[in-house]
Amino acid sequence: MRYLFAGWGFQAGALPQSFESCWSQATQALASADTAGCRWTFALLSSKSQTLAAGALQDWARQRLAQIDWESFADSAIAHIATPSHSPRLQQRFATGSVAEALALHASAANASSRLLVLRTVSADRRATLAIAGLPLPTSLIPGVLP
């Protein structure tokens, strides 16, 4: 079974459409790899876990995937995690360049070979971000890619 880790960053005003926008972009980026049958872990900050936006994320997610493992992490857990994306505002507030990328990497940290598969995607309304980490598929298993 393949394990994928979705790191979610979002504002208080994020709506189901915000999460759908991120998800559509991210899954399109993963389109060459079959994600059916993958085990998903969705990660978010503990400080956001009791917000209305977190409830909207959970409601939206239940409609999209049959089973999701949920993890929440303290803001301090993502501090100093190096990310390819960089926002000066987030660097100042969280000591990392991207909340979504840092959460995805932190959630997948149990497997040292995990890496970001999808860099931070931003929703059309700019209220949510998503990054995905996991083990890369060997190129021989990706349709259309020659070994």
At 56-108, the pLDDT tens digits run: 999 999 998 888 999 999 999 999 999 999 998 888 989 999 999 999 999 99
What percent of the chain has pLDDT above 70? 89
Nearest residue to 115 via CA among 107, 125, 123, 126? 107
Overall residue count recorded for the chain in this entry: 147
Band of pLDDT at residue 37, cut at 50, 70 and 90: confident
143 pLDDT above the threshold of 50: no
Give the pair of three-digit tokens for residue 68.
């999701």
